[in-house]
Structures are given as C-alpha cells and as structure tokens.
A and B are shown apart, each in its own frame.
Chain A
Amino acid sequence: DIQMTQSPSSLSASVGDRVTITCRASQDISNYLAWFQQKPGKAPKSLIYAASTLQSGVPSKFSGGGSGTYFTLTISSLQPEDFATYYCQQYNSDPRTFGQGTKLEIK
C-alpha cells in the first residue's frame, strides 16, 4: 500500500497569513492526488484534484502543486473559515490512502 505522510500534523497561523502543507507519497503517484478540507462535525469538502486542479466553486486562494512523491497545498490570505483539518489522498492505486491530516489552528 502507498503511504501518505503529511506535514506538519498541526499548524498555528494568523488571519491574513499564507501557509503551505506538504504531502509525501511512499512511491510515485504521478499527479493522482486530492486535497480535502474538513471542519468539526462536517463531511469532508473537496478542494483540489489531479494535484493542482481546483474543484468547481473552490476559491483561488487554495492552490496545489507537485507530482511524483511530493505535493503541496497552499492557502493564501487565511480567513477564519479556513481554520480546519486538511487531508491529502492518493488515487493512483488501490487501496486509496489518506494522509493523517493537518490541523490548521488560529494563532
């Protein structure tokens, strides 16, 4: 199985900051990577697929990059509604696997 490792596991930032979360795959997954946002008590919300393609309706403050084994999610100009937990997931092969999550908290 492909292991997905996110870093950091938690992150404190201020409103207006720009932050980057990384996700590493244990083997080459090309660009078959998605990013999700989850708020407490809510279902995950899709942000990005194919490593860098924004899902319809997602604001351009979210951007994704990378390929192969190294990927990033960058959020610019943080707003209160952006503080949540973020997950990456590879869909290059089954079983699909998620990163352990990155909790973004307000400083």
Chain B
Amino acid sequence: EVQLVESGGGLVQPGGSLKLSCAASGFTFSDSPMHWVRQASGKGLEWVGRIRTRANNYATIYAASVKGRFTISRDDSKNTAYLQLNNLKTEDTAIYYCSAPIAVTGISGIYWGQGKLVTVSS
C-alpha cells in the first residue's frame, strides 16, 4: 500500500524556520518526483514546488510565492522528502501536503500525504 506520512508542522513566529518531512512507503521512492502543495484555511490548493529524481539531477522548481524562502530536498536512502521553510510569513500559514505521482502498473496515480499544519503567528 502506498503511504505518505508528513511530520514536523507546528507554530512558528514570523521570520522563523520549520522543516517538514514526508516519509514514503509502498513504492520505489527513488523513481518518483515529489511535490509539495499547501492549502490555507478555507482556500483552494496551491502548488508549492517539486523535486525530481536522481536521474533528473534532483532538479527543483518553486512557486513564485515561496521561491528563495523554501527548499525541497530528498534522501532516497531514507525514502523521505523534505520541505525547509525559511523566513516565514503569516501568509504561509496553511496545511502542507506532500504528493507523489507514481507510474507503476497496478498502482499508477497521484498519492497524497495526510497534511501538516504550519501556523505562522507572533
């Protein structure tokens, strides 16, 4: 069974930092790009960014709203993706989801973690 489990959310002051983790199981993690998506309370889904696989040089790209402040990384030996959030603003308050597109017969599709709440407030 494909599973994505996020950890690391919480309350942080404006200007602070936080690191989210997304632990994957049930598929070959190293073969899948990993995405992060967020959702502010009562709002729609906003794509944050993604990291590609080793075969694609672990290339990253970010939404304009977080570029230069957020960093996505991965550790294939730990089957885990990370989202480092720096210089946080109140408008970054949201639930953060990791997501993985999988192209394997029988389980192909897009999978989501359960989400982690990040609250930026003084």
Binding site for B on A (CB under 8 A): 34, 36, 38, 43-46, 49, 53, 55-56, 87, 89, 91, 94-101
Contacts and interface: CB of A to CB of B under 8 A. Distances in A.
Contacts of B64: 95
Q: Place the interface of chain B in its size category.
A: 20 to 34
B83 to A, nearest CB: 15
B108 A56 contact: yes
Given A44-B97, A95-B63, A89 B109 contact: no
Q: Which of B45, B47, B108 is most buried by chain A, counting CB atoms within 10 A of its CB? A: B45
24 contacts: A34-B110, A43-B112, A43-B115, A44-B45, A45-B112, A46-B111, A46-B112, A49-B101, A49-B109, A49-B110, A53-B108, A55-B108, A55-B109, A89-B47, A94-B50, A94-B61, A95-B47, A95-B61, A95-B62, A95-B63, A96-B35, A98-B46, A98-B47, A99-B44
Given A43-B97, A43-B113, 16 more contacts: A43-B112, A43-B115, A44-B45, A44-B112, A46-B111, A49-B108, A49-B109, A49-B110, A55-B108, A55-B109, A56-B108, A87-B44, A89-B45, A95-B61, A98-B44, A101-B44
Contacts of A101: 44-45
B109 A46 contact: yes
Contacts of B28: none
Interface string B82-121: 0000000000000001000100001111111111000000
- Nearest first, the 3 A-B pairs at minimum CB distance are A55-B109, A96-B47, A46-B110
Interface in B47-67: 47, 50, 61-64
Contacts of B113: 43
A91 B109 CA distance: 13
A74 B109 CA distance: 19
A56 B106 contact: yes
Nearest to A99: B44
Contacts of B46: 98
